[in-house]
Amino acid sequence: MNAADRAVDLTARRDVAGRMAEAAAAWLDALDAAQRELASGAVPADDATDAERRRWFYTPTDHGGLTFHGQRPAQQRAAMRLVATGLSTAGYVTVALTMGLENVLDHVEGFVTRFDRERARDPHLYYLRVFGEPGGTQPWGWRFGGHHVSLNYLVVDGALVATTPCFVGADPAVSPLLGGALHRPLARVEDLGRDLVRSMPADLRARAVLLPKAPPDLVTANRTRVADGDRQVPLSGIWRDERFPDPAEAARLQVLSDAIDAAAGFEEADLRAVEYTSVPKGVAVADLDAEQKDLVRALLGTYFGRVPDAVAPTWHEDAAALDVVHVAWAGSLEPGEPHYYRLQAPGLLVEWDNTQRGANHAHSVWRDPDTDFGLDVLAAHRARHH
């Protein structure tokens, strides 16, 4: 949450933090000692003791914390109540649907994918952990994650100060419903980006489209910090452990990872074209017309609108702030084809990709390269109190 976001009414950020603290404390109080040990983490800080809180994933790996498998139904409900405090209604529905898609994905893959556990596609393999003491005088936060979900929050001095990284994905991105309808939980996140670039005149579109092919995944991946020169990480590298205990499963993951990279067909020049740089690539919103600027606002809304309305960023409603956002695209502009986009400005990084599984496997992340995990606030807090 950047400086502009923190200008949101302090009362609203304290109200949301209060609801989080109450729900977090209720969940922890419902756990036994063994469960609570898994569910608890170190007090957030701007030093090495905070390393675990800053680890995040979007693959079906161990995200760290207590899973739903390790909880009774009433405890699971209390966990989801905490999750809901960090999301808008639309955000909560999207996250819940993403979790349920694990059953659909298992069906798509023939109920055989295992990785390093009995069942890889498992709607109960979502992890919740609280860092520090909810509502206490010290900073505290919480993290919820599993396949295609990563939510990260920090509370300092009784106010919510960080909500990023915030990741939601969908696999399948499109699946059939009865009567010929389609289930597309991230439809607007994808379509608004494509509509925006397709609406540009040829000269602007040529500047916005960095490459005619798309990178195989998010360029900044699941790094704790983003930095100049960052490039996508192979799938096999986005896991808590480098290798699975079962060598056969480790080999299967490596084969899948290699196939994804081979399908993208990226060479050095391609990697360089889309790598992250602190100087944004693509087209500045200042160069767009009024209708296109409205599309940018709507697209950013699909990211900012994931958190509770009272604390959702609103800076993009200001014309001057919006003008410095840059829009970049890679891949085809045709629906159903692999593609990637990036929105970038000071205090903002949004990435989307839909490239894997025949462009039916979507990732979306909202980050703040300067203040992810609230590290800037933690440093200031330490300076004031120590």
Residue pLDDT tens, the chain, 386 long? 455 555 568 999 999 999 999 999 999 999 999 999 999 999 999 999 999 999 999 999 999 999 999 999 999 999 999 999 999 999 999 999 999 999 999 999 999 999 989 999 999 999 999 999 999 889 999 999 999 999 999 999 999 999 999 999 999 999 999 999 999 999 999 999 999 999 999 999 999 999 999 999 999 999 999 999 999 999 999 999 878 989 999 999 999 999 999 999 999 999 999 999 999 999 999 999 999 999 999 999 999 999 999 999 999 999 999 999 999 999 999 999 999 999 999 999 999 999 999 999 999 999 999 999 999 999 887 777 66
Q: Residue 382: phi, psi to the nearest 5?
A: -65, -40
The pLDDT score that the predictor gives to residue 2 is 53
The pLDDT score that the predictor gives to residue 241 is 85
Indicate the burial class of 6 (C-beta count within 10 angstroms; 0-12, 13-18, 19 or more): middle
Length of the chain counted residue by residue: 386
Query: Looking at the chain, which runs of residues are DSSP E strands?
Result: 40-41, 66-67, 126-131, 140-146, 149-156, 159-162, 166-170, 175-176, 182-183, 209-211, 283-284, 326-331, 339-345, 348-354, 362-367
The pLDDT score that the predictor gives to residue 1 is 43
Q: Cα–Cα distance between 85 and 306 in angstroms, integer?
A: 11
Q: Residue 185: phi, psi to the nearest 5?
A: -65, -25
The pLDDT score that the predictor gives to residue 6 is 54
170 vs 273, 332, 362, CA distance in Å?
26, 19, 5
Residue 146 and residue 165 in contact, taking contact as beta carbons nearer than 8 Å: no
The pLDDT score that the predictor gives to residue 243 is 80
Residue 194 and residue 53 in contact, taking contact as beta carbons nearer than 8 Å: no
Indicate the burial class of 32 (C-beta count within 10 angstroms; 0-12, 13-18, 19 or more): exposed
Residue 260 and residue 235 in contact, taking contact as beta carbons nearer than 8 Å: yes
